[in-house]
Chain A
Amino acid sequence: MTVNTIGDFHWMLNMFNAIDVGMVVIDSDYNIESWNGFMVHHSNIDGNDAKGKNLFSLFPSIDKNWFMRKVETVKTIENQTFITWEQKPYLFPFKHSRPITSTVEYMYQNITIIPLPSLTGKIDKISLIIYDVTDAAVNRIELQKLQAQLVS
C-alpha cells in the first residue's frame, strides 16, 4: 500500500477511524501519539485530548512493569509480540460492546504490539492493536466449564 496523494491519506484516515479494532501509537516514553475511532468511542477520550498523555496515567489499571517489559522486548527483538486474553483478560478497561445482552461486563482483548521504525530505522514508536475477542473468550470459558462438568 502506498500513499501518493492527500486523497489517499484521506481514505486511509477514514479506514483507520472506522475499523472495529483499536489502534494506538505511543512514543518511547509511553505517551500517546495517536489513537483511532475505536479507542475514542470505547474510552470516551477524544483523540486530541489523548495526544501527549501518558498511557499509564490515562489507564492506571495497566500493570506498568509487566507492560513495559513487553514493549521493551519488542524494541529489542524488532519484531511484534502478542498478548492473549488468556494471559490477561484485558489491557484497557473497556465495557463490553453489547452492554445489554452480554454476559460479562468487560471486553476481552487480544493485543498485538508492533515496532514502528522511523526513517532512520530506529524503533522510536510502538503501535498497539486491540482486538475485541469477548465472544470467542466467553464461548471458550463456557465450553471449558461444560467439559469440566462432564469429566467430574
Chain B
Amino acid sequence: MTIPILICDDSSFARKQMARALPDNWDVSITYAQNGEEAIAAIKQGKADVLFLDLNMPVLDGYGTLEIIQSQDLPTLTIVVSGDIQPEAHHRVSAMGALDFIQKPTDKTKVCEVLTRYGIIRPEDLLQGQLLQESAAQLSSSKMNNKLRVTNDTGVNFDAYQEVSNVAMGRAGDLLARVLNVKVRLPIPKVNVLASSELHMILKATDDTHGISGVCQGFIGSGISGEALILFYDSCANELAKLMDYQGEVSDAVEREMLMDLSNILVGSFLKGFSDQLDLSFSHSHPEFLGLHRSISDLIHSDTRDWQEILSIEINYVIEEYDIECDLLILITQESLQVLNNKLIYLLDECI
C-alpha cells in the first residue's frame, strides 16, 4: 500500500536531501511543503501519514505546526528533522508530540533506523528492495552524468548554501548554548551576493554607531578563502558578562575577552560544521578586533582594493531570556564560488 509522506522544509535543497534519505524501496507518495501552513493544509487533505518536519521556517515554523497538529489532533506521525541540535529543542518537540528527532544533514541509515523503530516500515520491506535498489543505482549513475554538465554553472545556488549553513549554524548554536548554559534561538541563515560597496556600507554602519564591536578572522583552504565576522552589540556586554561569570566592572579588557570567547566558539564551530559537510579543510588566521578603539575605516579602505562580489551568509544568534544578540557573518570571495558550487552538487549526488 502506498503511504502518503509529507516533507516540510523551506529549503528545496533540504527537501531533496530528505527525499533521498528515504529507504529506496519504500512505497510512498511524497508531497512537499515549504512552511507549516502548507503542511497543515496537506495533512488535512490526507497527504501525510508520516510528516518530516523542519523547525526553522518562515510563515509558520515547526513548533507552531506541531502545536496545531496537537491541538486539532490531526492524523499524522511527525518526525522532526532539524539542524538545531540543542537538547532543549529535542525535549520541546518531544513534549509537543513529535515521534522522534533526526539531526541534519539527514542520512539514510538514521532515517531507516527511526522508521523501523516505530514500526512505520518493517525490516522485510527493506530486503525486498535490494534488487530494485541496484537497478535504481544504474539509473542514477546515468542521471549523474547529466548533472555533471551543469557543474560549470557559476550561478550561486542560494538554497544549498543556506541549508549547509543551517546545519553548521545549529552546531555552533548548540556549543554556545552548552558553554553558556542558555537557550539559543536559531534564525534562518540569510545568503546573499553583496557588491563590495554594500559590504562596505554594512561595516561602515558598525563603525558609525559606535555601539558595535567585532572580531574578524580569515579562513583558507581547498581553493576557498573568506572571512568570518562576529558583530556584537556593546549594549549586551553587561548581560553577557553575567552569563560568563565575570565579576566587577565590565572594562574594555573584559569586553575584549568576552568577544574573543564568543568568536572562538561561533566562528570555530561554524567553520568546522561547514567544512566537515563539504569535506574541506581550512587554515584559520589569527582573529583581529574591529571597533573597540579601532575604527573600521582604518582597517578597510574600499578604494585601495579592487573589490569583487562577495557571497555573504548572515546569521543572527539570539540568547533567549537575556537581552543578548550577535551576528555571525561569513564572507566568501568570488573566486571560491566555483569550487564551492561543485562541492555542493557533489553533496547532493552523494545522497542518492
Contacts and interface: CB of A to CB of B under 8 A. Distances in A.
A99 B216 contact: no
A56 B283 CA distance: 24
B101 to A, nearest CB: 33
A103 B304 contact: yes
B285 A105 contact: no
Contact of A41 (B217, B220, B227, B286): B220
B199 interface: yes
B27 to A, nearest CB: 45
B291 interface: no
Contacts of A44: 221-223
A101 B300 CA distance: 5
Contacts of A98: 216-218, 227, 285, 288
Contacts of B333: 99-100
Given A37-B283, A98-B285, A100-B331, A42 B299 contact: no
A100 B222 contact: no
A101 B216 contact: yes
Contacts of B225: 95, 99
A72 interface: no
Nearest to B301: A103
Contacts of B227: 98-101
Interface residues of B, number: 29
A132 B288 CA distance: 14
Interface residues of A, number: 19
A103 B226 contact: no
Given A37-B281, A103-B300, A105-B305, A97 B220 contact: yes
Interface string A58-82: 0000000000000000000000000
Interface in B216-247: 216-218, 220-223, 225-227, 229
Nearest to A107: B285
Contacts of A96: 218
Contacts of B310: 100
A98 B218 CA distance: 4
B158 interface: no
Given A98-B288, A101-B203, 8 more contacts: A97-B218, A97-B220, A99-B220, A99-B226, A100-B226, A100-B310, A101-B290, A103-B305
Interface of B: 199, 203, 216-218, 220-223, 225-227, 229, 281-286, 288, 290, 299-301, 304-305, 310, 331, 333
